[in-house]
Structure 1
């Protein structure tokens, strides 16, 4: 058993030496997000397990004996209604067009493509899965905002994760100081969490909908980032291979 463990560690170390740390982190996010989304889909949506946890969390955010009254002061509900708007389709569309257009204007087409693929792709996936699973919205408490689609996965959470994590990662990638990178990503993660929480607080999503949305949005964005990171490397390998092949041709 110890030999097997040593071999696994040796392979992992060799892999780490040949692959950038950033690539390892991105692939880890893709794998973890994918596993979490599949697990939630299987256990909660398809097999209807752990629904008691969903119900308990939702009711814990309401006043005992009055499900129509969210806990906390009155201004909190209004504030979270504003926060939830940051994950809405209109706001995300504005951010997407604005940032993608800016990237094209400064001649960064790969960054523009990343923004478009990450955000538009995540929203398309979320919309398609809502239509496929058709999970009903929570009926335990009144909805404190208007909804039009099915519940699983949360479109606001998916869009927020894809949008703000992608934009945060792009902005952080051009910062040299670690403190600034941490600051930017902290805001991106915090905003994503706040939008997801607002959907639960307002009674329009089960907690598992939000968790699945976060997983879907973050995993898809990380996958797009990884794929686009490989394009320059593949292009460089193709150019190198062509040059080597040309040099190897016999002189005529």
Structure 2
């Protein structure tokens, strides 16, 4: 089935996608990548130690560092929130999204999501192994941890997965309020996951800031590539539908 666009939609597809989108995404790559480089440099030089220590201890009971501030239910809620950025949950969300896009005939979008998330996981592992920063030892960990501390994998991968999927879903919605809601939800999930890692004592605050930065930079890069592929017709444009089968059901 052929999709028809109004003159305003065609104008947006021509100038909005081809000019504004790539410029914004390229700016995001540069901004967030620079933020990560600056944070990483401070971490390597040991300049973030005072900041990390002060903020980590501010979230703990002064009389008992093993006890996070707040009631017991808040600590349980933090564990639930941090689980939203875990490999298993992100894996389920990513696979489900890919299957959904394939069923909708959007193979290019499905491939993009796969590359974005899997590439982010590889990048996260490389960065963790490269910096090899120990986990915080000021307070007992409220969860089990198995990898190095910098950057936060939960913060990074949640930024990549949720921001990428949020941007893809938002571009299919007709109303600006819905677009804003979807992107705000993606940002909110990314933020609370990162905060929960510090609250539970498994990451230094600078780990989370770095994870957010490199994750947002990677998501911006993926979006930039998407816009370039859309211009070439290799990834579906907003509102585009896959051809329907002409065979009998």
Answer yes or no: same fold by TM over 0.5: yes
Q: Is the 1:110–1:228 contact (alpha carbons within 8 Å) kept by the matching residues of 2?
A: no
2:18 touches 2:227 (CA, 8 Å); kept in 1?
A: no
- Single out whichever of 99-108 and 135-144 deviates more from structure 2: 99-108
Q: Compute the TM-score of the two structures, normalised by the length of structure 2.
A: 0.84
User: Among 180, 183, 187, which residue is 2:181 paired with?
Assistant: 183
Aligned counterpart, 2:66: 68
User: Paired residue for 2:34?
Assistant: 35
Q: Could you tell me which runs of 5 or more consecutive residues in structure 1 were left unpaired when the two chains were aligned.
A: 1-15, 237-252
| Residues 104 and 55 (structure 1), Cα distance of their counterparts in 2 relative to 1, 3 Å cut | same
1:136 to 134, 137, 143: 134
Q: Distance in 1 between matches of 2:19 and 2:80?
A: 39
For the residues of structure 2 that align with 1:97 and 1:19, how far apart are their CA atoms? 29
Larger RCO, structures 1/2 (Cα 8 Å, 6+ apart): 2
1:186-233 residue CA offsets vs partner (Å, 9 max, x unmatched):
111000000000000000000110011111111111101211321243
Contact 2:162 2:187 survives alignment (8 Å): yes
State the match for 1:166 in structure 2.
164
1:1-252 equivalences in 2 (<5 Å): 20-44=19-43, 46-234=44-232
Q: 1:165 to 1:56 in 2, by over 3 A?
A: same
Query: Structure 2 vs 1, CA of residues 18 and 64 (structure 1 numbering), >3 Å: closer, same or farther?
Result: closer
The 1:48–1:105 alpha-carbon spacing in structure 2 relative to 1, beyond 3 Å, is same
CA distance in 2 between partners of 1:72 and 1:233 (Å): 51
Structure 2 alignment gaps of length 5 or more = 1-14, 235-249
SS state of the match for residue 67, structure 2? Answer: strand
More helix by share: 1
The structure with more radius of gyration:
1
Deviation (angstroms), 1:20:
2.3
TM-score normalized by structure 1? 0.83
Deviations 1:12-49 (A, max 9, x none): xxxx99952222221111111100111111111x2111
